[in-house]
Amino acid sequence: MRILLAGTGSGCGKTTASLLLMAVLKAQGLDVAPCKVGPDYIDPGFHRAVCGRPSYNLDSWIMTEDDVNRALNQRYDIAVIEGVMGYYDGLDSASFRCSTREIAHITRTPVILIADASGGAASVAATVKGFQTLVKDSGIAGVLVNRVSGQRHYDLVREAVERYTDLPCVGYLTKKQSLQFPSRHLGLVPAEETDSLLPRIREAAAEAARTLDTDRILRIASQAPAPEKPRRRMLPNRRGYRLGVAMDEAFHFYYQANLDALRDAGMETVFFSPLRDDALPGNLNGLYIGGGYPEVFAKELSRNLSMRRSIGNALEDGLPCYAECGGLMYLGKDIDGIPMVDFLPLRCRMTDRLQRFGYVTVTDRTGLSFPAHEFHHALAEPLSGAAMAYRVQKASAPEKTWDCGYEKKQTLAAFAHVYFADRPDLTGRFFP
């Protein structure tokens, strides 16, 4: 069984509805496999906390259709997929490329549309009708009504929706059931930093269990056909390769499928904390420093001088390293004047707005091209001796290009977030 929760737009309550549905189904004894549409790292952390298992990204820009379906070929009772933005929002308005709608189509998953009913009643039916009829086969199989004032308000919306669309309503959430998690510049404050996360979700889920029609939701989810069986992933055997992976509050933006692929290829992933550990783990063959919030924890990272020296010395000695976004920032000279590893010839400063946002195509100096995603407020200012490794092209505006990526000795670092689980050419490039 599987279901996809899509929204009428950003801010309509997708994350709250998804987490509460996951928690309600989990409390009923079901093994819930969470997924997230798009290149998101933060929502999957909340999914993992609620479901007790990793959440997988489903992204039709950076992933092949085969790899999208691979994420759904797991053992579970039900997969719950959280959409991104509005249901039809993607790269363009004609093909719905890279939209939640495209993922629903690729995976053949029934869709529950989340409709924000605050300030409306019968008019909500008009919104739902528009989503239902915009394309011939919308895939929408039901409606979850969000932000109602109570049962009477929901009844008014439900009667109108079911009269004008023939779509069933599968329950509601009230304005009071909003989880109201704190935010920062890249979205929600991560689950790892959110106080009393599970107690808050479980308390809200106890109320949601009374307002959501889970029997109907499960009936809709049971209509999903078995996912397409993916081809066997053909990564070279890397048995005996010890890869150090930075993992703590400052660095935790990783695609779960990337880590899975490295382990499936025989690599041993050895996690360490740049915040708390004194030095790198021993006998490493390579290093992987992902994205995260090094700017939030800059003072703590800087105070751990022994780790900074350990990493800098290892990279100077030629240890292969791939660093992504936050990892790039950490390997530079400083972040807003706060000293970092000082290996790469660059300085980073934070700004109050997004500098790069969206899908891109990256071409490196060897001519290798691959899809990626950028999302950051930081600016990297190259210093003397900087060698740029990438030419980046914006997917939605191909005329826009820029240089990025820094290469020094055996280290490659860039802002672009890359999915390499089905790309042996990239794993070989990043982890020689």
Tell me which residues are annotated as active site.
325
- Please give the Cα distance from 156 to 119 (Å, whole number): 12
Helix (H, G, I), strand (E, B) or coil at 83: strand
Listed in order, strand segments (DSSP E) in 318-400 are: 321-324, 334-335, 338-339, 346-350, 356-364, 369-376, 378-382, 388-394
- Please give the Cα distance from 347 to 331 (Å, whole number): 9
Q: What is the largest CA-CA distance in the chain?
A: 70
DSSP letter at 193?
G
Sheet containing 411-414, strands listed edge to edge, beginning at the edge strand earlier in sequence: 268-272, 242-246, 286-289, 321-324, 411-414, 401-408, 388-394, 356-364, 369-376
- Please give the Cα distance from 409 to 414 (Å, whole number): 15
Closest of 169, 127, 172 to residue 149, by C-alpha: 172
Closest of 81, 38, 55, 431 to residue 243, by C-alpha: 431
Helices 197-211, 42-51: crossing angle, 10 deg rounding: 70
